Structures are given as structure tokens and as C-alpha cells.
A and B are shown apart, each in its own frame.
Chain A
Amino acid sequence: MGRKLLTEHINVEGIDTLEVYRKHGGYRSVEKALKTMTPDEVVEEVKKSGLRGRGGAGFPTGMKWSFLAKPEGVPRYLVCNADESEPGTFKDRQLMSKLPHLLIEGMITSSYALGANTSYIYIRGELLYVLRILEKAIAEAYAAGFLGKNILGSGYDLDLHVHPGGGAYICGEETALLESLEGKRGNPRNKPPFPAVQGLYARPTVVNNVESIAAVPVIVNEGGDEYAKIGVGRSTGTKLISACGHLNKPGIYEIELGLPVEEFIYSDEYCGGIWKGRDLKAVVAGGSSVPILPKELILKTAAGENRLMTYESLSDGGFVTGTMLGSGGFIAMDETTCIVRNTWNFSRFYHHESCGQCSPCREGTGWMEKVLHRLEHGHGHMEDIDLLVSVAKQIEGNTICPLGEAAAWPVAAAVRHFRHEFEWHVTHAKEAAQPGAVYRAGTVLV
């Protein structure tokens, strides 16, 4: 049974209220940090913990914090990125709706560490009901003296606000999120300057994912060194994995980093195996933007070692035989899944969600979607398969923000690992175009 650092009390009745949350040790980190630690000491603990950004990029959180510019007399901001929109990822929504005070506690402790006196939680617009839950919890925190002026008599002031988006995946990219928070279209900004120097309202800003911020109270309470003892190597602590697709028990699981992928999929403690007694075909392990891997490569690395749920093990083999932990959006596909159809679906998503600012992304995502559409619907040509790879390569690295890569990687990886399926869609156009048509090695299911 793995340790649960964030979700230990998630099913306690009334844990969304301040009273019950405090009974279970809530807000201890605020008292400890504000009364006994300097802001720099809090930053130091987060550095020691080895915590890496849980939104997908995996950049060390403490290091990100230490980049924050601190000019005299200029306000700085902490912004929580709660614009969870990556297909396969739904952990932050659950965390916020069930444990709103955990995020608020993390926001207070983190804001103190960064010297921010106003902080925002940017939440995706679809989750207005979660916004209401957070606002209610924030009101409770103000009433109890954890927010507002002179918090717990420490002389530290903080205002915390929740801000809804409007249904745009691109706003999960930190600079697009800041544009959106300023009341504009979510068009990503060129970097540099980085948000740590010029972020919200051109002031120094840190943008962190919900799960990263929710881990800060644990780190402050237990100490960075203790936190770092959990996990494997540079993958420290626990991670929320949102498991979905063709699993017996989809849902959100908090795992200790280092758990074997096979155990995660098949043990009863976690996903309980593949539904309907079918075989596993492929997995997208870290949200739709990361490369898809066939069963053989998600369970074992190319060298034949057990694949573990860590940043390093999942990316072992690079993009040739590996993938990424990303945001922990774990999508399992059974043997009846059509990879071409799935790739087309993802491609349509990225085309729809491209902000249109950079030509390679605006045009390339649409191009890939069209080619995949015709392959899936029985109008494709053999040269279309290489065309897809070529377009993906031309998008990658040529855009302001990483949405270009997010759109390109799934397509390139699907062709790399399942080229025979794409070819079958061309050679058996009529069968492939039928609803539910699926190719798998040695067998054709129509």
C-alpha cells in the first residue's frame, strides 16, 4: 500500500470544510512557515524535496521559485495553473473539488515563500462548480484569519482570488494563461522575458500547477529531506495519476513514484486490469501530448527492464522506445482500439485548440487532421503516412509555445509504432472505413 501524502483524507466526510480539514491537520504548514520560517527557508525546503512540476513539464519547483526576480517596491504574483485540459488528465479537478483547503493552504505557504501579496487560481471555465467550492473555502479561510491582512499576527498579507477561463486548452500554457488572466485572448507570449521576470501585468510571477502547490504543505510539515526519501532517484514524492480508457477501475490514484507500470495497470489496488477481459494494446502515459507506446514497450523498457512510473523510466529510450510521465494522464487502450482513429481524434483536438498565432501550428495541425481523416475514412494513400511524419517534424520546434510539439508527438509516435495499421487503412480502404473497423497483428476485426 503506497503512502498518500495529498489524498489521505480525501474521502473523509466534510473535508471540504475548514473545521474538518483542520481536525485532520490542515493549515499546520501555514502556522509553521509564517511563525517559524523565513520565506527563503521555505524555498530551501522545496528545493531539498526534489519536487518537480506536476503539470507536465517536470521542471524542479524549488529552482523555478529561485528564478523569481525580486526588485524592491514591485509587486509579484503567484498564479496557480488550474486550467487542466489535457485529454486523459483529470486529477486537479478532483483534488480541488474534494480538498479545496489543501490547495488554499498550499497557495498561502507558497505565496509567503515567494513574497506575493496577491495570488490567483486560474481555473478552467468548464469547472465553474469547482470555482464555487473554492470561493466558499477561501471565504472560510479569510474568516479564520489565514488570508487577508496580518495573517496569524505575522505581519504578512495575502489576498487570494479564483479566476475562470473560457474553454481554451492553450490557456494551460503559462504565458497564454497570463494573457487570459489579463482579459485577453490566450495567445502565448514569446520567451524571454520569462514570467519570473515579466509575468502577470509585466510583474515577476510564478505559475505552478495545482498538484505542485498542494504538495508544498506536506513538504513544509515533514521537511524537504523526508519528502525526498519517497520515490526513486530524481523522481521524488508521490504523483496523482488519472487513469482512464479501457480499464476495469478508471479513476485517480496517488502513487509513490517508482511503482512498476505493470502493477499499476493490473493490480487490484490500482486499475484492476483491462476491461471485458481483453488484452492491452497501447498506453498514452502522460496525457494526450506524449508519445503512445505499444503494450510491450510500456510494460518493459527496450532493454527488457520493468518500466516504472518515474520521469526517468518512462522516458527511457527517448522518443524511439520511450515516452513521458507528463501530467500523469494515463490512457489505456484495449486490443479493439483503432490507432488511426485515435490519432485522428487527438489531431482534431490539437487543430481545434491551436490559438492560430504561429503558422506551423495553425496550418500543420489542420493538415495532419485532414490527412488522418482521409486515412481513417478510407480515402488515404500510402504516401500520406510519410507526409504525416514530415508535417509533424515541420511543426516541432517551430512554434512559440509547446502546443506544436504536443500536436506533433502523438502523430509521429503512432506512425512509428503502428505503421502497419496505417498501411492497412490504405490497402483495405473499404473495410477500414466501416464503423468499428480495427486492425491488429494477424487478425482483422471489422
Chain B
Amino acid sequence: MESTATKPQFSEAAQAEIARICKQYPEERRKSAMLPVLHIAQAEFGGWVSPEVQYLVAEVLGVAPIEVYEVSSFYTMFNLKPVGKHVLEICRTGPCMLRGSDELTAHLERITGAKVGGPASEDGLFTLKEVECLAACGFAPIVQVREKYYEQLDTPEAVDAMLTELRNQVHRPALPWEETGLPNAVANN
């Protein structure tokens, strides 16, 4: 069944990056590029992979849309619902809990007004998401925002500094394939 919504398109820079990635796998194994392409898609289209974006990925890779859904619904990094400008992924596992991640989560809920697992904060800036181990246990507690790790968030000052930095970001940082400064690099904020 074809989607009726406006069809999204990858930017030229993203298309070039996808073409480069597809060459990493044997020609008949193009499906291998599924996860890298989903990461690009999520970064390009507002931080989540809508059904329309999943159709687009299927088309680019020459696979059935259901195959894209199977994968994007299995891996926790892919958001299947709209998110705020910044998705704060708070590690809640073992070592982070020992160093105060429960308190950090409660603190972030109070400050941002967003709830873990709920919609974005009213200003549209923050989505809170609890995640399992981020592999930075020695620097706990930790929050990941896109490709950046914020570590040792065990004081209100450290948390405030992170939030101020994020609030002051007019546009999200350019991703490697966008560094040419193409206009769509900021169009999806």
C-alpha cells in the first residue's frame, strides 16, 4: 500500500553518503546498508522515522517496506514517533543507577517539564528517553544527545550547563555528510 502523505526526499549530501555506504557491501547484499541508512534518515527527517521515511528507505535499498519496519521497530535508537528538537537519552542501567541516574531523571523531568516515555516538552525542545547501558559507566551518570555524550551529570550545575548548551543551539550541529553547508542541513530542525 502506497503512503499518501508528502513524499520525503533525501538531500543531495545524504544521497551521496548513502551511495558511499552501499558500496561497502557486496552488490547483491545492499540490504546490509539498512542500519546506516536509517541513521541518516532519522538525522535528516526531524529525529524520527515516520512511515513515509520508512517507505523511502525501502525504495533506496530495493527492499520491501515491511523489512524496514521489522528493523526500525527492533532497534531502540530509531524513534517511531515524533520527538522534540533534542532527545535526551538517559542511561538508567546498573553503574549509572549506582551513581545517581534515578535522581538525574527526576531532576530532568522537573526542569524540562517533559516526562520519560511521554511527548516532548511544551516548548518542543526536549524529549526524555530512558535507555539501557551507554557504555560509559566510569563517567556516570550519562545523557546522550544525538552523537554527543554528556558525562558525570551528578551535580545540578553539570545538568544546567548541558541544558543551557542545548537551549542555545539555534540549529543542530551539522552531521558529517552535511558539512558542505547545504541549506537542508538546517531545514529539518
Size band of the interface chain A makes with B: 35 or more
In the bound complex, residues from chain A placing their C-beta under 8 Å from that of B89 are: 126
Distance in Å from the Cβ of A123 to the closest Cβ of chain B? 10
Can you list, as one digit per residue, whether each of B158-170 has a CB less than 8 Å from chain A (1) or not (0)? 0000000000000
- CB under 8 Å from chain A, chain B span 110-142: 131-140
Q: Measured between alpha carbons, how far is A346 from B144 in the docked complex, in Å?
A: 20
Residue among B63, B67, B95, B136 with max Cβ neighbours from chain A (10 Å): B95
- How far, in angstroms, from A243 to B137 measured CA to CA in the complex? 8
B95→A182 contact, CB < 8 A? no
User: Which A residues are in CB contact (< 8 Å) with B98?
Assistant: 244-246, 331, 333, 337, 342
A125 part of interface (Cβ distance < 8 Å): yes
Is there a chain B Cβ closer than 8 Å to A183's Cβ?
yes
Question: Is A242 a contact partner of B138 (Cβ separation < 8 A)?
Answer: yes
Q: What residues of chain A lie closer than 8 Å to B138, measured between beta carbons? A: 90, 242-244, 250-252
In the bound assembly, the distance between CA atoms of A87 and B136 in angstroms comes to: 9
Interface residue tally for chain B (C-beta within 8 Å): 44
In the assembled complex, the Cα of A84 lies from the Cα of B149 at a distance in Å of 16
Whole-angstrom CA separation of A384 from B140 in the bound complex? 32
Q: Is B71 an interface residue (CB 8 A)?
A: yes
CB distance from A130 to the nearest CB of B (A): 9
Q: Which of A126, A183, A329, A337 contacts B34 (CB 8 A)?
A: A183
CA distance A90 to B135 in the complex (A): 5
B94 touches A126 (CB 8 A): no
Q: Is the CB of A168 within 8 A of B76?
A: yes
Contacts of A246 in B (CB 8 A): 98-99
With A87-B95, A183-B31, A251-B138: A167-B133 Cβ-Cβ less than 8 Å: no
Identity of the chain B residue whose Cβ is nearest the Cβ of A120 in the assembled complex: B24
Q: Does B16 contact A (CB under 8 A)?
A: no
Instruction: Judge whether A85 and B31 touch: CB under 8 Å.
Output: no
Main secondary structure of the interface of A (DSSP, over half): mixed
Bound form: Cα–Cα A349–B91 in Å: 11
CA distance A326 to B51 in the complex (A): 41
CA distance A85 to B38 in the complex (A): 20
- Taking each of B76, B78, B98, B134, which has the highest tally of chain A beta carbons within 10 Å of its own beta carbon? B98
Smallest CB gap from A181: residue in B: B32
Residues of B within 8 A of A124 (CB): 135
Which one, A40-48, A158-166, A386-394, A398-406, is touching chain B? A158-166
Quick check: is B77 within 8 A (CB to CB) of the other chain?
yes
A169 touches B132 (CB 8 A): yes
Question: Which residue of chain A has the shortest Cβ distance to B34 in the bound complex?
Answer: A183
Q: How far, in angstroms, from A184 to B75 measured CA to CA in the complex? A: 10
User: Which residue of chain A is the closest to B144 with respect to CB atoms?
Assistant: A126
A120 to B26, CA, bound (A): 12
Q: Flag if B99 contacts A245 (CB, 8 Å).
A: yes
| CB-based contact B35/A166 at 8 Å | yes
Contact with A along B35-70 (1 / 0, CB 8 A): 110110000000000000000000001010001001
Residue A201 CB within 8 A of the other chain: yes
A contact set with B: CB distance below 8 Å: 84-90, 92-93, 120, 124-129, 132, 159, 161, 163-169, 180-186, 201, 242-246, 250-252, 284, 288, 329, 331, 333, 337, 341-342, 345-346, 349, 352-353, 355
Interface residues of B (CB under 8 A from A): 24, 26, 29, 31-36, 38-39, 61, 63, 67, 70-71, 74-78, 89, 92-95, 97-99, 131-140, 144, 147-149, 176
**Pairs A–B under 8 Å by Cβ, sample size 25:** A87-B94, A87-B95, A87-B137, A90-B135, A124-B135, A125-B35, A125-B77, A126-B77, A129-B148, A132-B176, A163-B35, A165-B75, A166-B74, A166-B75, A166-B77, A167-B76, A183-B29, A183-B33, A183-B67, A243-B138, A244-B140, A250-B137, A345-B92, A345-B97, A346-B93
